[in-house]
Amino acid sequence: MYVTGSLLAKCITVILISTYHTCYGEDQNKPMSDKQRIQLREEARDMFYHAYNAYMDNAYPADELMPLSCMGRYRGVTPNRGDIDDSLGNFSLTLIDTLDTLVILGDLEEFEHAVKLIIKDVSFDNDIIVSVFETNIRVLGGLLSAHILADYLQQRDGIMPWYKGELLSMSKDVGYRLLPAFNTTTGIPHSRVNLKFGLKSDRLESARETCTACAGSMILEMAALSRLTGEPLFEAKAQKAMDELWKMRHRSSDLMGTVLNVHSGDWVRRDSGVGAGIDSYYEYCLKAYILLGEGKYLDRFDRHYTAVMKYISQGPMLLDVHMHRPHTNSRNFMDALLAFWPGLQVLKGDIKPAIETHEMLYQVMQRHKFIPEAFTTDFQVHWGNHPLRPEFLESTYFLYSATGDPYYLEVGRKVLKSLQKYARVPCGYAAVNDVRTGKKEDRMDSFVLAETFKYLYLLFADKEDLVLNLDEFLFTTEGHLFPLNLAGQTNNGTKITESESRDAAFDQTCPNTMRLFPASFRRPLQNMVDGVCPRRSHKRRLTASEFSAANLNHLKVLKDMGINLLALNDGRVQLLHTFSAARSAADAEEGLLFMQEMVELSKQQNQQPEPVPQAVVITMKDQKGHDNPTIVMQAGPSQFGRNLKGDQQVTAGVVLVQPFRGCDGIKAPELIKGRIAVMERGDCMFIDKVRKIQKHGAVAAVILDNSPGSSSAGSPMFSMSGDGNDDVEIPAVFLFNQESSKLMLALSKDPQLEVTIRELKESDNFSHNDEESMFQKLKVSVQEFLNKHTGLEFTKTVELGGFRASIGNNKVMVTYAGSDGDVPLVKDASSNGQWAKIRKGLLKSILGSESKELIVPLNILRIYHQTLGGATGKGDVVEQTKWLLNELLKEYQTKEDQTKEDDLVRLEAEEDRGASVIADTVKQNFNNFKDVSSMLKSVNFENLQETREILDKVIDKLKLETSDEIIVSSSESVEDKVKNAGDRKPDSRTTHSVDEL
């Protein structure tokens, strides 16, 4: 994956800084002697032949060697391993892939012998489905490289006089067998093709998806084939695929996703990184310019590279992001394939970040013996497999070639010793199944010989040791050699004259003229990975993309960083950073970084196209079943799922999800099928809620705001964000709190209510200020005030006649379960008619709810006990509770009187979220309650402005002159009551939109 190491070595002045001793326990200062280097070079040669001879003696003509079984792996004969076997085609893959390595090692005799075997034994007329990408880079690339080298050696040294271009003819045969894959609407090739029958199978014709690397890593081999054979079709097909991929980049970020549909061009996976699924596409953008001399490829690479370094590169780490939301990480681990990136950066000429990323990878390798197939951001093993990949050695070789720093020889020695100790077996080298256990796998991929041992040998070899001048060649992604003079040929095989080519001097310009200090770049990272040696922790406690305002731990971290949250009326959160308020200077600096990231996130959100506003339409029916005037409410759209436009709409019955926030296990999921599911905001991401109800068959989702008083009139349109995955298909809309109240009120009146979700139209006539919303605003505001305390912990219980009271720190929860035994008869001697009415209301609240429960704050219980119960002295809470249960039992035994008018308590049991508030029960004893009562009586819905002012005074009065709830009675179950109370904390009521992307 490099043009030439020696070219860059000529361009760069290498200055080694003063030596230092690292914690690895090795003397990094002392350059490796020539004797040591030659010994390692010969050991690398021996390693290659140990594996090569094991293959030739025990496996050829099979595609691969199984080193533990010591036998060949044939497609359709040995047990199927799934997609991994798509690289096999019963065409002696390992030998074809290894041909040019024999030339690198100077074994021209074995090279000639191997070419004869390929010509004699290999056929591609096989009824086998193979990977287009793997066949292109391994088989076509291997054949072309071997042909180029055979022709080169024949002309230069006069060897192989019998060779007449047979490998080129075989290359052309392979090329034609791959061409049917390009028969798609976009020109982007299918991921698989049948070598004999093309796409003529149901499995292949129905296949739609391919990876970006698979589609974008054809141009080098196909263009080389065209320019060597004079057949322009191959290059034209690959070039069109590259052009179409470029069109599909995200225009604002210039990033690419990893999986796309070959016919529509739509992205299937929008994760963007430099590793698996995308790696060689970026590589081939740059190398297509180098090999073919076309400037458009360099322009594309430069745009992509800038984007990668801006969004994906996070210090020495390279973390996948969402291509359309590049400031948001899409996963918390890295894969081993990204180890090629430092080598590509050397080719680009960006040496400093190449050194830093390579150093990080080297420490991971030391910690785990090999680089695991995937590892987390704190360098733990995510996937422990290691198939002896070459990418890290490749980058090590290119960095050494560019810098001349002997440090990289030590790195190579470390890799060599690990291979010898943990992978060598009597019959070749076996992949490591898990780096943690050292267990081996019966697998030796062709790239082990084609690349891993090739780069290991080249690292320790001098130019004088090689039979080729590598300055004249370009390495493909599979490590095959293509001559740079291909840029001087057209795809009809003719050479471009000197006047037609780019300025040769310009082509040879050094990509980097900086003076390198490699050790100084590594020094700050020398202890980066835990377990290599002690280090200070530099890991971020919290990034902006991870932040959730509903997460209490995140809020604590922000406080430590000196960041305060201010809740706005529309449910958004404003962040204020005060440097002096941070716990430490380091925390304050991290707070500044967090705020900068949050600004960037906000910019990215503002750049997203504005979704179409949606509407929720309610049609109420009167008692005779006739339609009443409809209620149209503005709803916020979502950036995932289906946005309804034009005449599109969804009409269905409504169901409340249980639990109401829809984040935990859904209860009674069968009730959701075919209906519009209603959930409350909070606890988890919007898209996670919708995923769950979609799984159970819901046709749409309505998510209700949990910020009291918010409305579409006083708030900007809220658009719910997703997480980059396009697996949600149903529409989802967001209702602010006042609009939510209308929906809940309508549902309480008609449990069979049907609503319609559609696009909001200019002709829609809807009012933000009607009687229902004003009344609901009063109820919600008071309810929010009453529920400001959270965290119920019940420690004592009192029971009497089927009633049970659980006493907490500031509340008593009363439940009624009935009694099977004899219930004591309690005589009602109370002469307080007002208390009798209140008591009746309390009992009605308990018996009228499904859960038979009531919560009473202790301060209200004390008021009842002292002022209405005629008690003398305060008494303890247990005594007060016993008195309350006794009073409730009295009322229960005389419940025939419950039909009387109750002027003080109205039970709204038909409303799932209803609550009854008794504010004026003690107005004769407490002036604040008297004031509140008088203000409530003055509410006039005809004068909306005056009403709003009165309501504000009511709430302010309650907030200022009492510190606890008055009375809350709800039809929720106690589990949901406690959970919801715990959820409604001041910090979690207003959730910043960034936390639910």
Q: How far is CA 52 from CA 98, 102, 117, in A?
A: 9, 10, 15
477 marked among binding-site residues: yes
Q: Which is the catalytic residue, given 100, 107, 244, 279?
A: 279
To the nearest 10 degrees (0 to 180), the angle between helices 407-422 and 391-403 is 160
Percent helix, strand, coil in the chain, to 5, is 45, 15, 40
The dihedral built from the CA positions of residue 216, 221, 222 and 223, taken in this order, carries a sign that is: positive
Closest listed residue to residue 192, CA positions, set 349, 274, 83: 83
The answer to whether residue 134 is catalytic is yes
Catalytic residue among 86, 235, 356, 391: 391
Catalytic, 391? Answer: yes
Dihedral over Cα of 461, 467, 472, 477: its sign: negative
992 in Cβ contact with 546 (< 8 Å): no
Q: Is 279 an annotated catalytic residue? A: yes
Instruction: Quote the strand ranges of 304-460, DSSP E.
Output: 313-314, 317-318, 321-322, 325-329, 333-335, 374-376, 381-383, 424-425, 428-429, 431-434, 439-441
Distance CA 79, CA 81 (A): 6
Structure tokens at 956: 């302010």
Residues linked to residue 425 through DSSP beta bridges, in sequence order: 428
The distance of Cα 875 from the centroid of its chain, to the nearest Å, equals: 58
Name the token pair of 438: 């050292």
Q: State the Cα–Cα distance between residues 14 and 514, nearest whole angstrom.
A: 9
Contact at 8 Å (CB) between 189 and 198? no
Phi, psi of 617 (to 5 degrees): -110, 125
CB 213 within 8 A of CB 153: no
Give me the residue label for tokens 């009415």: 837
Q: Which residues share a beta bridge with 267?
A: 260
Residues 6+ apart with CB under 8 A from 821: none
Give 855: exposed, middle or buried? Use CB within 10 Å, 0-12, 13-18, 19+: buried
CA distance 169 to 176: 11
Which entry of 134, 244, 359, 445 is annotated as an active-site residue? 134
- Any residues with CB less than 8 A from the CB of 385 and at least 6 apart, and which? 372, 373, 431, 432, 433, 434, 435, 441
DSSP state for residue 495 in the 8-state scheme? B
- Indicate the DSSP class of residue 312: I
> Contact, 660 vs 693, CB < 8 A?
no
At 986, list the tokens. Answer: 């001041």
**Chain CA centroid to CA 783, Å:** 37
Tokens found for residue 738:
């006042």
Question: What does the radius of gyration of the chain's CA atoms come to, in whole angstroms?
Answer: 37
Across the strands, what pairs with 564? 576
Taking the CA atoms of residue 350, residue 356, residue 359 and residue 364 in that order, the dihedral angle to the nearest 10 degrees is -120
* Residue whose structure tokens are 């409350």: 680
Distance CA 485, CA 149 (A): 13
- Helix or strand run (H / E) with residue 565: strand 563-567
> How far apart, in whole angstroms, are the C-alpha atoms of residue 377 and residue 317?
8
Residues in Cβ contact with 945 at an 8 Å cutoff, skipping those fewer than 6 apart: none
Q: Is 366:532 a contact under the CB 8 Å cutoff?
A: yes
Q: CA-CA distance, 452 to 419, in Å (whole number)? A: 10
**N- to C-terminal Cα distance for the chain?**
37
**Exposed / middle / buried, residue 729 (Cβ in 10 Å: 0-12, 13-18, 19+):** exposed
Asked if 39 and 46 touch (Cβ cutoff 8 Å), the reply is: no
In this structure, are residues 837 and 889 in contact, taking their beta carbons and an 8 Å threshold?
no
Where is the binding site for Ca(2+), in residues? 477
Binding site, annotated residues = 477
Known catalytic residues? 134, 279, 373, 391
